[in-house]
Structure 1
Amino acid sequence: MTKVAPIGEPPELKKYSGLQRAAALMLALGQEHGGPIWGQLSNEEVKELSSAISQLGRVPANVIEYLLVEFLGEVSSMSNFHGSYESTQRLLEGMMPADRVKEIMEDIRGPSGRTMWDKLSNVSEAVLAGYLKNEYPQTIAVILSKLRTDHAARVLAELPRDLGTDVVMRMLRMDTVQKDVLAQVEQTLKAEFMTNFSRAQKVDAHETMAELFNALDRSTEEAMLSALDAREPDAASKIRALMFTFEDLANLVPASIQVLVRNSDKRELALALKGAPEEMRQVFFNGMTERAAKLMRDDMAAMGPVRARECEDAQAALVRLAKSLGDRGDIVIADPKSDEAMIY
């Protein structure tokens, strides 16, 4: 290798995050030079970096050159690189045991399972039906015949009625599926559906942080968001938009408020409402009988002075309960990412 002088930062570099830059660098180093570095990483770090490599796509030569000059101080002639699941797997296979490579690749490809059919059985019936409705009825019949019966039934129920009927008729007339046909269907599912599904399932970092901030006490949450406002105002704004707060409970439909009240700890509910403005209290009182609302007001008055922190903790617990009920489908919660979409 020949030493080279520092080069200017290429304009294309701006579109790569820190993780993507590290991924491009490791892809460039390859097995021989990157092996010792991979060996020092934890399983989670390997998975994160491998996932970034697999989704990298084409990386311009001048970006690769700049990264190598910046981090290593020397570079050889380069060509473009293309990150994919296949190149990621080949890279890992030269440095790790086969079982570890399999675990990592399955994790970044999509839902867990020993076979493609196991994986499909872990995919939501609505998502799977949304993909299958654009396939030939015979192909759908082959796929449903390989799924668990209960899951196949739920997928079938999600398909348009005429298409579902056609699929059932083909399943009734279907003989044993030839191995080469099954292999072709499986390969198509891997290439088209599972890869796209895995990418679509990637969680936005802002969503993760919104969940984390929801779990903080009010004073810590406000302090952290204020600090983030000063350094990354766009990120702080996105996190706020994704957070589900006590005030958002006012947007629940009356029936959902009633379910929330029935499932809540009454002392905790009283504490939460004691620290809430009157209009917020009224939202909950409207979800109670007149007698229950009066008793709740009496309980709040009987408490006397309470610490603001206790009220905030009770409000946070009520938010967690609402999200839990929403996840179970017991109440309807407005999705903070959309003015119209609903989560059931």
Structure 2
Amino acid sequence: MSDGLTDIEKAAVLLISLGESDAAEILKHLGPKEVQRIGEAMSRLDNVPQSRVESVVSDFLDVVGDQTGIGINNDRYIRAMLNQALGEDKAKTLIDRILFSTNTSGLDTLRWMDARQVAEIIRFEHPQIQAVIVSYLEPDQAANVLSFFDDKVRLDIVMRVAALDQIQPQALQELNDMLESQFSGPRSTQLTRLGGVKSAANIMNFIDTQIEAELMDAIKESDEGLANQISDLMFVFDNLLDVEDRGIQVILREIQTDQLVVALKGADSQLQEKIFKNMSKRAAELLRDDLEAKGPVRISEVESAQKEILNVARRLADEGEITLGGGDDMI
């Protein structure tokens, strides 16, 4: 039986059992985030019994037996994961097939790259091209890319991201052409919606706390109204107060107690109480004791722990497990 394995672990067992060629065919339909999570699960597998492998394959066949195809969303990271899971030599074949497939456009391939690589690729491009590319990336990757630019350039890019709305297909094709020596992609004839204030806010959510504060001050100095719009759309740690109780419970299952203790050192009493009430009585008592026993913690450590918890919350929201910022309950 494959009971006891998570869906991600089942996927890892299935892919390892398939071999490089077949695994590559599947992985190239996944996005970087999915591949990263599966790869991390692959690296943790150890001495999986043959009976369990057979059970995972059987479960998979039962699920897809009446389907004509498997629809998978696109997203993020692969290199380090596959190197760690399979070793550099074996991983190279998969990386080449997945990252440099002719079905991957230049812009899509940027999503798989290290943030420093992307920053170097766009460093000397026109600021508007930089903004379009940053808008196209996932918010956390975009935030990492921005960290490799100085304050002035970072401000300019974020302001341009916030001002974006739609982009002509020729402009997107131009970006693909810029990378055509390595990548190619199909042409589009439809306007693509990119950027906007919400996109800027999402990127700001992932930027280092100190840089975020400095950047927000700079935006406010340049355009106070825009700064207020971005601020209103950002999801910060205190906004967990607006998350329904069920959502808080889901988040708590995904984070470590030590991490939570540090994060709550910088939270107000109202948020602390919300956390306590969504735990068992015993767990809440232990958490209170840990908080009281915890000595002084650096602000940077508190902010880092809070960012990590927010990253978990955003991932769960992306997966449809919870809703952020209030709204209707999940059913």
For the superposition of Structure 1 and Structure 2, which TM-score range results when normalised by the shorter chain?
A: 0.3 to 0.5
TM-score by length of 2: 0.44
TM, length-normalised to structure 1: 0.42
